C-alpha cells in the first residue's frame, strides 16, 4: 500500500491548489504547476520519485490526443491539411533552425545546437489544448491554428526521434529510459521492411477502428456494464499506445488516429466521457511533476543564464509564430492568442531531452539546463494566456477573430445572433417575405448558415458602429438573440437608448434576465427555454396517461400563472433583487400554482378546468 | 335615455383575405361608444380569458357577434367563446343574471345568395331559422334577440356594388343602436334588419 502516501500528497496538492488558482483566474494548469512547486522544491515532500510518476503521467498526453481525435472528423482533418503542413511544418522547421543558429552563435557545437533547436521547437500540447478548451477558445481561428501547429509537432516527434541519434558524436547506444521509442521491435530490420510494418500498423488501426471496434463496442455496450465499457475504452488506448511503441511510433499519434477513426461512430460521446476523467487526472499529475521537477539549486545558481535563455527562446518562438500568423492571415485577438500561446517549449521536450542524453547527443549539464528552460517556459505559459485574456483580448474585442464583414444591404429587421434561437426567428421572418440583416461572431456558424442560403454577416453585434452599418437606424425591429447573457443585456440597452423607435424582442436566459432586459428597454422578452420545457411537461403528462387536451389545458394554466407571477414579482426584484421579500413572494406564487393545478380545484369550477362544465342537476331553468 | 354601450365581438380566421368582413369591421372599429374585439387577434391560441370577457359583457348593453356564417354557425373561436364565457351561474341558471335585459345581435355575411335561404333554395331554410341556436342562446341568457343584419353572397358584393351600402348601413345601425334611435319594437317584427333600416331608424341621419 505504499502508493497511498504519494497519492495522498499529490491529490491534496491538486485539490487545494487548483480551485484556488481557478478562482484567481490563473487557470487549472498553473494551479497544478504551483501545486508541484510547493510539494517539490519548496516543501521537499516529493523528490526524485516524481520523475517516475512523470513518465506515467505522460500517458495523459496520449489520452488527450485520443480525445482530440474523437472530436475531429476525417473530413475536418482534410480541410486542415494546408494549415497542418504549411503552418505547422514551417513553425517546426524555422524554429529549430533559428534556435540552432542561436546556439551556434553562443559558441555551442552544431550538433548540440541543432538538437536543442529541434527539442525547443515543440510547444506544449498539454498546456495549450487544456487551456484553450478551458477558456472555450478551441473553435476560434486562433485556437484552430494553434491546434494545427500542435498536431503537426506531435507528428513531427516521430522523425525527430529517428533523426536525433544521427547527431551523436560517437555511435554510442544509451540505455532505454523507459519512454523513448527508439528501441523498437523493428530494430535490425531493413529500412523498407520497417516502413512497410509501420504503414501496416497504421492501416490496421484505421481499418480495425472502422470495422472491428464498432461491433466490439456494440457487444460490450450490450452487456450494460458501465465499468466494462470504461475498461474497454482504456484498453483500446493502452493497446494502441503499446503497439505504436513496439513499432517505434509516437503513441500519441496512434491514439489520435484511433480517435479520428472513431469520431464518426455512435460511441464517440460515451468514449469521450469515459476517458476524459483519466486524461484530466493524468495531465494534472503530469503538470504537478513538471512543477515538482524544477531544480531550484540550478535555477538559483545560474539565474541570469536560465532566465535569459528562457526569455530568449520564448521571444524567438513568439516572433516566428507572429510572422507565420500574419502569413496565414490571423488577425486581432486570434493573432495574439496564436503567437503568445505557443511560445513555450513542451512536454515532448522532456522526452526528447532524455532521449538525447541517452543517445549521447547531449551531455548531462546542458540537458539539465534545458530541462529547466522547458519547465520554466511552461510555467510562464499560463501567465501569457492571462495576459492575452485580460489585456489583449479586451482591446481586440469587437475586431474579434477577423475583420467584420462589410454589410451591403439593410432590412427592416436586424437580428443579433444566429444560433439555435436566432435561426428559427430568421427563418420564420424570411419565409414570410421579410428582409433581415443577421449578425453573428461565430464564423463557423455563419459559413453554415450561408451554405443553407441565408445572408448573414460576421461581426460583434454589441459594436455600435456595426449595428449602425446593419441599418439599425432604419430598422423597425431588433431581435437580440445572443447566447451571452451580459452582452445580450448590453446590446438591448444600447439599441433601446439610441433607437427608441425600434421595437426590441429579446431572448432571456431566465426569469431574472427577463427583468434585466425589460429594464434595459426590451419591449418583448422571451425566455429561451420556457415554451419548450412547458411542451415537454405537457408531453410528460400525456405519456403518463392524461388526456392530451386536458394536458394542454394544464400547460396553458401553467403558462398563464407563470406569466402572471413573472409580472407580479418584478416590483420586488427591481427593488432589491432576489432578497427575502422576493423569495417570500416567489413561494406564495408557487403555493398558488399548486392550488391551481390540484385535482380538487377541478371539482370546484376553478381556473384550469373552468369551462365546459355542465350545469348542476335540478336547476329548473336549464 | 343615455347611450347604449356596444360590444362588437368580431371573428374571422383569415382577416387578411377577407374583403367584406374587413370592410364592414372598419365601420365598428373607430366608432365612439363601440368596443371592437377581434377574437382571433386577442386569442391566437384560443386561450380565452374568461374573467376578462365576462367583465366586458357586464360593461356593455348590447352584444354584437360579427362574423361570416360557417356551417350555419359562427367561426370556431366564437363557439369556444360561448362555451367558456357564457358560464352557468353567470349567464344562465338560477343565479346567472349578468346578462339580463341586454340586447344581442348577429351581423353576418353568407356565401349563398338571399334566394338560396328559402324553402326551395338550396339552403332550404331561412336565415332566421338557421340562426335559432344563437337566438335561443340569447334567450336562455335572458337577452333580447334582435333580427340579424345580413350581407348575402358576400363574395359578389363588391362587383354588384352592395358592399359599400351594406357597410354604410352597418355604421348607421350601430350609431342608431348606440344613440337609442332604433325602434326596437318595430325591429323585433322584421325578419332581418337589412332592407328595413330607413323605416326603423328614427330621426334624421
List Cβ neighbours of A586 (8 Å cut-off, separation of 6 or more): A565, A569
Across the interface, whether the CB atoms of B47 and A612 are under 8 A apart is answered no
**pLDDT, mean of residues B46-52:** 91
Contact residues on chain A for B92, CB-CB shorter than 8 A: 615, 621-622
Considering chain A, tell me which residue range(s) the CATH 1.20.1530.20 domain(s) occupy.
4-396
Integer Cα distance of A154 and A97 in angstroms: 18
CATH 3.40.50.360 fits B6-200, yes or no: yes
Residue A173 pLDDT: 42
Among partner residues A613, A616, A622, which is closest to B92 by beta-carbon distance? A622
Residue B131 pLDDT: 97
CB pairs under 8 A between A and B: 29
Q: How confident is the model at residue A172 (pLDDT cuts 50, 70, 90)?
A: very low
Contact residues on chain B for A555, CB-CB shorter than 8 A: none
Contact residues on chain B for A619, CB-CB shorter than 8 A: 88, 93-94
A4-396: CATH topology: Na+/H+ antiporter like fold (1.20.1530)
* B79, closest residue in chain A (CA to CA): A612
Q: What is the ipTM of this complex?
A: 0.77
Residue A406 pLDDT: 61
Residue B110's φ and ψ, nearest 5 degrees, are: -125, 160
B100 touches chain A (CB under 8 A): no
Give chain A's mean pLDDT: 81
Q: Are residues A381 and A125 in contact, defined by beta-carbon separation less than 8 angstroms?
A: no
A→B interface, C-beta within 8 Å: 556, 560, 610-616, 619-622
Q: What percentage of residues in chain B have a pLDDT greater than 70?
A: 99
Across the interface, whether the CB atoms of A621 and B92 are under 8 A apart is answered yes
Q: Where are the domains of chain B?
A: 6-200
List Cβ neighbours of B47 (8 Å cut-off, separation of 6 or more): A556, A560
pLDDT digits (tens, 9 = 90+) for A92-130: 999 999 999 988 888 888 888 888 999 999 998 878 887
Considering chain A, tell me which residue range(s) the CATH 3.40.50.720 domain(s) occupy.
413-603
pLDDT digits (tens, 9 = 90+) for A331-373: 777 888 888 889 988 877 877 787 787 777 888 788 888 888 8
Q: Taking phi first (over 0 means left), then psi (-120 to 50 degrees means alpha), and beta for anything else, what does residue B48 get?
A: beta
B88 touches chain A (CB under 8 A): yes
List Cβ neighbours of A33 (8 Å cut-off, separation of 6 or more): A287, A288, A290, A291, A378, A379, A382
Contact residues on chain B for A560, CB-CB shorter than 8 A: 47
pLDDT digits (tens, 9 = 90+) for A14-53: 888 888 887 776 667 778 888 888 888 888 787 777 777 8
Q: Are residues A456 and A450 in contact, defined by beta-carbon separation less than 8 angstroms?
A: yes
pLDDT digits (tens, 9 = 90+) for A390-399: 787 777 654 4
Mutate to test the interface with A, among B49, B54, B77, B88 (most CBs of A within 10 A): B88
Q: What percentage of residues in chain A have a pLDDT greater than 90?
A: 16
pLDDT higher than 60, residue B205: no
**Assigned superfamily of A413-603:** NAD(P)-binding Rossmann-like Domain (3.40.50.720)
pLDDT digits (tens, 9 = 90+) for A68-84: 788 777 777 788 888 88
Integer Cα distance of A492 and B92 in angstroms: 50
pLDDT higher than 70, residue A520: yes
**pLDDT, mean of residues A500-521:** 94
Convert A401-427 to b/e letters by CB count within 10 Å (16 or more is b). bbebeebeebbebbbbbbbebbbebbe
Q: How many C-beta atoms lie closer than 10 Å to residue A118's C-beta?
A: 27
Among partner residues A611, A620, A622, which is closest to B83 by beta-carbon distance? A611
Please tell me the total number of residues recorded for chain B in this structure: 205
Integer Cα distance of A318 and B38 in angstroms: 68
Amino acid at each position: 500500500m505504499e502508493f497511498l502516501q504519494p497519492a495522498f500528497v499529490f491529490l491534496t496538492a491538486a485539490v487545494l491548489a487548483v480551485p484556488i488558482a481557478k478562482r484567481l483566474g490563473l487557470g487549472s494548469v498553473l494551479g497544478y504547476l504551483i501545486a508541484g512547486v510547493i510539494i517539490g522544491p519548496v516543501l521537499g515532500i516529493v523528490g526524485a520519485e516524481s520523475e517516475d510518476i512523470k513518465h506515467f503521467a505522460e500517458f495523459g498526453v496520449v489520452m488527450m490526443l485520443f480525445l482530440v481525435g474523437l472530436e475531429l472528423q476525417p473530413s475536418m482533418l482534410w480541410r486542415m491539411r494546408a494549415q497542418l503542413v504549411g503552418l505547422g511544418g514551417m513553425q517546426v522547421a524555422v524554429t529549430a533552425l533559428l534556435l540552432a543558429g542561436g546556439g551556434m552563435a553562443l559558441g555551442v557545437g552544431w550538433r548540440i545546437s541543432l538538437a536543442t533547436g529541434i527539442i525547443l521547437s515543440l510547444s506544449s500540447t498539454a498546456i495549450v489544448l487544456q487551456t484553450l478548451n478551458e477558456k472555450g477558445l478551441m473553435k476560434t481561428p486562433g485556437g484552430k491554428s494553434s491546434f494545427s501547429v500542435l498536431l503537426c509537432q506531435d507528428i513531427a516527434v516521430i522523425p525527430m526521434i529517428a533523426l536525433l541519434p544521427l547527431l551523436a558524436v560517437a555511435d554510442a547506444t544509451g540505455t532505454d529510459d523507459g519512454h523513448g521509442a527508439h528501441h523498437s521491435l523493428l530494430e535490425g530490420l531493413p529500412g523498407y521492411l520497417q516502413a512497410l510494418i509501420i504503414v501496416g500498423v497504421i492501416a490496421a488501426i484505421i481499418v480495425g477502428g472502422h470495422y472491428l471496434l464498432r461491433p466490439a463496442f456494440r457487444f460490450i455496450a450490450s452487456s450494460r456494464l458501465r465499468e466494462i465499457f470504461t475498461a474497454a475504452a482504456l484498453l483500446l488506448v493502452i493497446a494502441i499506445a503499446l503497439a505504436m511503441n513496439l513499432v517505434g511510433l509516437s503513441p500519441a499519434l496512434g491514439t489520435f488516429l484511433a480517435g479520428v477513426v472513431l469520431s464518426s461512430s455512435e460511441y464517440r460521446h460515451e468514449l469521450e466521457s469515459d476517458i476524459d476523467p483519466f486524461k484530466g487526472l493524468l495531465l494534472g499529475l503530469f503538470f504537478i511533476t513538471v512543477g515538482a521537477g524544477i531544480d531550484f539549486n540550478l535555477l538559483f545558481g545560474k539565474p541570469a543564464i536560465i532566465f535569459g535563455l528562457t526569455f530568449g527562446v520564448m521571444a524567438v518562438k513568439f516572433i516566428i509564430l507572429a510572422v507565420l500568423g500574419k502569413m496565414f492571415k490571423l488577425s486581432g485577438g486570434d493573432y495574439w492568442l496564436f503567437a503568445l500561446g505557443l511560445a513555450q517549449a513542451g512536454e515532448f521536450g522532456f522526452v526528447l531531452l532524455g532521449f538525447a542524453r541517452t543517445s549521447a547527443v547531449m551531455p548531462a549539464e546542458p540537458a539539465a539546463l534545458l530541462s529547466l528552460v522547458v519547465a520554466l517556459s511552461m510555467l510562464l505559459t499560463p501567465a501569457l494566456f492571462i495576459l492575452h485574456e485580460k489585456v489583449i483580448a479586451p482591446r481586440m474585442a469587437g475586431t474579434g477573430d477577423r475583420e467584420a464583414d462589410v454589410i451591403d444591404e439593410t432590412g427592416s429587421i436586424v437580428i443579433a445572433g444566429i444560433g439555435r434561437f436566432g435561426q428559427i426567428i430568421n427563418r420564420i421572418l424570411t419565409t414570410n417575405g421579410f428582409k433581415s440583416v443577421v449578425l453573428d461572431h461565430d464564423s463557423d456558424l455563419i459559413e453554415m448558415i450561408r451554405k443553407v442560403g441565408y445572408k448573414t454577416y460576421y461581426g460583434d453585434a454589441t459594436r455600435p458602429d456595426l449595428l449602425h452599418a446593419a441599418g439599425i437606424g432604419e430598422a423597425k425591429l431588433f431581435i437580440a438573440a445572443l447566447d451571452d447573457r451580459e452582452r445580450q443585456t448590453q446590446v438591448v440597452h444600447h439599441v433601446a437608448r439610441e433607437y427608441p423607435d425600434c421595437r426590441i424582442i429579446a431572448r432571456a436566459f431566465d426569469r431574472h434576465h427577463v427583468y434585466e432586459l425589460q429594464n434595459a428597454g426590451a419591449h418583448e422578452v422571451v425566455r429561451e427555454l420556457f415554451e419548450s420545457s412547458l411542451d415537454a411537461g405537457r408531453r410528460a403528462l400525456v405519456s403518463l396517461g392524461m388526456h392530451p387536451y386536458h394536458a394542454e389545458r394544464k400547460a396553458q394554466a401553467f403558462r398563464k400563472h407563470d406569466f402572471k407571477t413573472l409580472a407580479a414579482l418584478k416590483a420586488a426584484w427591481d427593488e432589491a433583487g432576489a432578497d427575502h421579500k422576493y423569495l417570500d413572494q416567489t413561494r406564495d406564487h408557487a403555493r398558488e400554482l399548486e392550488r391551481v393545478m390540484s385535482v380538487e380545484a377541478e371539482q370546484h369550477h376553478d381556473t384550469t378546468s373552468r369551462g365546459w362544465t355542465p350545469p348542476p342537476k335540478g336547476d329548473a331553468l336549464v | 335615455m343615455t347611450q347604449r354601450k356596444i360590444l362588437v365581438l368580431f371573428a374571422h380566421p383569415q382577416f387578411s383575405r377577407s374583403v367584406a368582413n374587413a370592410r364592414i369591421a372598419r365601420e365598428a372599429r373607430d366608432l365612439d361608444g363601440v368596443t371592437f374585439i377581434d377574437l382571433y387577434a386577442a386569442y391566437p391560441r384560443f386561450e380565452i380569458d374568461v374573467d376578462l370577457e365576462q367583465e366586458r359583457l357586464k360593461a356593455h348593453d348590447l352584444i354584437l357577434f360579427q362574423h361570416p356564417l360557417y356551417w350555419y354557425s359562427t367561426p370556431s373561436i366564437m363557439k369556444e367563446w360561448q362555451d367558456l364565457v357564457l358560464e352557468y351561474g353567470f349567464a344562465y341558471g338560477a343565479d346567472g343574471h349578468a346578462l339580463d335585459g341586454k340586447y344581442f345581435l348577429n351581423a353576418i355575411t353568407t356565401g349563398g345568395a338571399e334566394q338560396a335561404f328559402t324553402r326551395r333554395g338550396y339552403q332550404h331554410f331561412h336565415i332566421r331559422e338557421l340562426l335559432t341556436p344563437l337566438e335561443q342562446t340569447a334567450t336562455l341568457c335572458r337577452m333580447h334577440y334582435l333580427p340579424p343584419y345580413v350581407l348575402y353572397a358576400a363574395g359578389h358584393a363588391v362587383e354588384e356594388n352592395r358592399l359599400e351600402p351594406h357597410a354604410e348601413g352597418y355604421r348607421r345601425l350601430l350609431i342608431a343602436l348606440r344613440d337609442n334611435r332604433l325602434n326596437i319594437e318595430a325591429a323585433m317584427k322584421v325578419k332581418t334588419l337589412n332592407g328595413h333600416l330607413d323605416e326603423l331608424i328614427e330621426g334624421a341621419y
